[in-house]
């Protein structure tokens, strides 16, 4: 075995190519984390990155809410489900895959403290960086600020020799072709209305 990953009192052993993996677990929760790392090792080599976010499917278009724990990612997803009938695919851990003409947001069995973990995917429409505030406002992010805000919510497979490089390459492509907004908001319907108006206004004009 070539690789060793420790997590609390559990550990993972893998061969050189990560094709043969053995997990020695102290608990089911620790085993799930190690299994996630094993999965991500292969996923990142297939142009897939892992984001700390919630993902909704609104009329066939994916919206990712990004931010640290407690910022309101699941809350905003639930507001869209309540007021717009959106489907919540995952509430905490989302995988985004680069395809030839689009990026797909994927649900997964891993979902943190959120109960939402659908086996589904949706083309990504926009990334929404959440900020808590006393009112609702939104602005589009560009340049370095865009990179900084999103990259802080990406999981980097540091245990993989070229994992960070692979991750950053896919992230660069994602940010080059996807709009990113900062939504300072309250947990109310007005936040949904504001985001819908800004993100989907061009679609409405086309129709």
- Cα–Cα distance between 63 and 131 in angstroms, integer? 16
| Phi/psi at 80 (5° precision) | -70, -35
Span 104-111, average pLDDT: 94
In the predicted model, is pLDDT for residue 202 greater than 90?
no
Q: Please report which confidence band the pLDDT of residue 195 belongs to, taking 50, 70 and 90 as the band edges.
A: very high
pLDDT tens per residue across span 156-178: 999 998 999 999 999 999 999 99
- Residue 103 is predicted with a pLDDT of 98
pTM of the prediction?
A: 0.92
In the predicted model, is pLDDT for residue 207 greater than 60?
no
In the predicted model, is pLDDT for residue 107 greater than 90?
yes
In the predicted model, is pLDDT for residue 183 greater than 60?
yes
- Residue 113 is predicted with a pLDDT of 85
- Cα–Cα distance between 149 and 192 in angstroms, integer? 21
Report which of 156, 143, 170, 175 is spatially closest to residue 64, judged by C-alpha positions: 175
Report which of 120, 81, 82, 122 is spatially closest to residue 99, judged by C-alpha positions: 122
- Cα–Cα distance between 63 and 86 in angstroms, integer? 10
pLDDT tens per residue across span 114-127: 899 999 999 999 99
* % of the chain surpassing 70 pLDDT: 97
In sequence order, what DSSP letters do the residues of 132-169 get, joined into one string? Answer: E-SS-EEEE--HHHHHHHHHTTEE--TTSTTHHHHHHH
- Residue 1 is predicted with a pLDDT of 75
* % of the chain surpassing 90 pLDDT: 93
Identify the burial level of 47 via C-beta atoms within 10 angstroms of its C-beta, where 0-12 means exposed, 13-18 middle and 19 or more buried. middle
Report which of 67, 44, 38 is spatially closest to residue 171, judged by C-alpha positions: 44
Q: CB under 8 Å to 190, separation ≥6 — which residues?
A: 136
Residue with tokens 């677990």: 25
The H or E element containing residue 129 is strand 121-132
């Amino acid at each position: 075995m070539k690789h060793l990953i420790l997590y609390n009192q559990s550990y993972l052993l893998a061969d050189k190519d990560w094709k043969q993996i053995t997990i020695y677990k102290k608990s089911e929760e620790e085993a799930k984390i190690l299994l996630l790392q094993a999965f991500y090792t292969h996923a990142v080599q297939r142009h897939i990155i892992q984001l700390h976010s919630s993902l909704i499917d609104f009329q066939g278009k994916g919206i990712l809410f990004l931010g640290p724990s407690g910022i309101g990612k699941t809350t905003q997803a639930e507001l869209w489900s309540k007021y717009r009938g959106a489907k919540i695919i995952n509430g905490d851990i989302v995988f985004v895959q680069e395809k030839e003409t689009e990026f797909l947001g994927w649900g997964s069995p891993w979902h943190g403290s959120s109960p939402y973990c659908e086996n589904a995917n949706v083309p990504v429409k926009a990334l929404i960086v959440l900020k808590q505030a006393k009112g609702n406002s939104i602005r589009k992010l560009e340049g370095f600020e865009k990179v900084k805000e999103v990259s802080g919510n990406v999981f980097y497979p540091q245990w993989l020799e070229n994992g960070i490089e692979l991750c950053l390459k896919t992230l660069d492509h994602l940010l080059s072709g996807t709009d990113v907004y900062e939504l300072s908001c309250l947990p109310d319907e007005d936040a949904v209305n504001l985001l819908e108006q800004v993100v989907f206004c061009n679609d409405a004009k086309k129709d």
